[in-house]
Chains A and B, each alone.
Chain A
Amino acid sequence: MNFLFRYANPHEFMRLSGAVLPFTAVATVLCLAVGLYLGFSAPPDYQQGRTVLILFIHVPAATMAMGVYGAIAVCSVLSLVWRHPLSDTAARAAAPLGALFTALGLITGSLWGKPMWGTYWVWDARLTSFLLLLFLYIGYMALWNAVEDEARAARAAAILALVGAVNIPVIKFSVNWWNTLHQGESIVSGQLAPVFLTPLLLMMAGYGLLFLTLWMVRIRTAILERRARNLMQAGTP
């Protein structure tokens, strides 16, 4: 807890993130570059052919889409329970990134679905639950923008994020019960050959670092914006 609260101070956060930012940015570029290179030099899959390349872009995006919602939920708990002042900003900054990852996952998935399943869209469990996840993100951002008072908006959005977090497993379960065609996971169960696994893990790390970098940039921007606004208000009598 102490550790968390040291960085609740925006000033401390600016100092730390300013120092870390160049490293994560470089690491992001490295991971993505090496991951893409290995991905493109990987042999065609015996079933999926060259379309397996889409996997390296699709799977990490989908993982991040869920991960970012998790991050928002954690921030919301911090903000509601301990009134951690920076976590509101962090949650708000993460939402558009999460929506972007979700959209990327959906788009690359449908591009992959055309040659593989013969159609861009099927009403499959995972596709549907991701579409619903995208709507959850949109609703969350809309609520943030709609409430004028920032402190109120923060708490309303936090409540919504937690309600959504409770509901997501239920949605996933219900949609699974309804219909499924999507292939099961193959990373943890060890069905993936190393030629595919290495670039995939690198891409995942790259996506994670990319999110971290952009997230910090967005939080920094939000803090600077708030400072600028306070200065402007202080300037006008």
Chain B
Amino acid sequence: MRDIRLAARSGGSAALALSFFALVATLVPLGVGADLKLLARVAGGILWVAAVLAALLSLDRLFQGDFEDGSLDLIALSPLPLELTALAKIIAHWLSTGLPLTLLSPLLAVLFNLPPPATLILFVSLLIGTPAVSAVGAIGASLTLSLKRGGLILPLIILPLLAPAVIFGAGAVSLALDGLAAQNALGLLAAFSFAAVLLSPFAAAASVRLNLGG
């Protein structure tokens, strides 16, 4: 819808998130050394954490722009339930950050010497896990909507809530690395992601309403 088009045309945020993601992935080998075995070992965790942080970058703009120019008031007044609007915004955010990050991840996995089967699992885990990041992030973004220093509080609020996604996502990759079946972890990740996408529009809509002074 409108949000996706806006995000696509401004274009900046996706490219920014991607560069951030790639930069973090570049800095890690510089920090821990170029030992390829070690890098393959930590790749899943590093890339997952980097992806979550990169997605955070653009989250505080999720409702902010519409809030500042007043269009959020109009959206709230429109017959469309605010929950659906929140869901649309989550999808738009995912399409502009989560999806590009996922598409870039196999390339970075090569840099980390991750074997192909584990790379596939990393790709799948990011594909099903990043919607949860956008969804939980939307709750944080809507809660910090009217704050001037919201950018600092937002990560503090949502990062602990995202711990399960990182655990299951990175866990699936290291299981695959050891040659074990990763379906279990992926299933749990999918469940977490599904529940997050399903429930968070309600929480986000409720907190948008309260920030509009309802």
Contact = CB atoms under 8 A, between A and B. Distances in A.
Interface stretch (B21-29, B64-72, B119-127, B144-152): B144-152
A132 B163 contact: yes
A60 B160 CA distance: 24
B99 interface: no
B120 to A, nearest CB: 22
B156 interface: yes
Contacts of A160: 139, 143, 157
A143 B143 contact: yes
A147 interface: yes
Contacts of A42: none
Contact of B161 (A146, A159, A163, A175): A163
Given A136-B160, A159-B143, A174-B188, 18 more contacts: A135-B160, A136-B161, A139-B153, A139-B156, A139-B157, A146-B147, A146-B153, A147-B147, A152-B211, A156-B143, A156-B211, A159-B139, A159-B203, A160-B139, A162-B203, A164-B161, A171-B163, A174-B168
Interface in A140-172: 142-143, 146-147, 152, 155-156, 159-160, 162-164, 166-167, 170-171
B159 A175 contact: no
Interface of A: 132-133, 135-136, 138-139, 142-143, 146-147, 152, 155-156, 159-160, 162-164, 166-167, 170-171, 173-175, 177-178
The main secondary structure of chain A at its interface with chain B is: helix
B38 interface: no
Contacts of B185: 177
A171 B144 contact: no
Contacts of A133: 160
A157 to B, nearest CB: 9
B192 interface: yes
Contacts of B210: 152, 155-156, 159
Contacts of B34: none
B98 interface: no
With most chain A CB atoms within 10 A of its CB, the pick from B156, B185, B192, B200 is B156
Contacts of A177: 167-168, 171, 185, 188
B143 A174 contact: no
Contacts of A136: 160-161
Contacts of A166: 199
B163 A142 contact: no
B163 A175 contact: yes
B146 A152 contact: yes
* 3 tightest A-B CB contacts, nearest first: A174-B164, A139-B157, A135-B160
A156 B168 CA distance: 29
10 contacts: A136-B161, A142-B157, A146-B153, A147-B147, A163-B139, A163-B203, A167-B161, A174-B163, A174-B168, A177-B171
A44 B200 CA distance: 50
B108 interface: no
B153 A143 contact: yes
B207 A156 contact: yes
Contacts of B200: 163
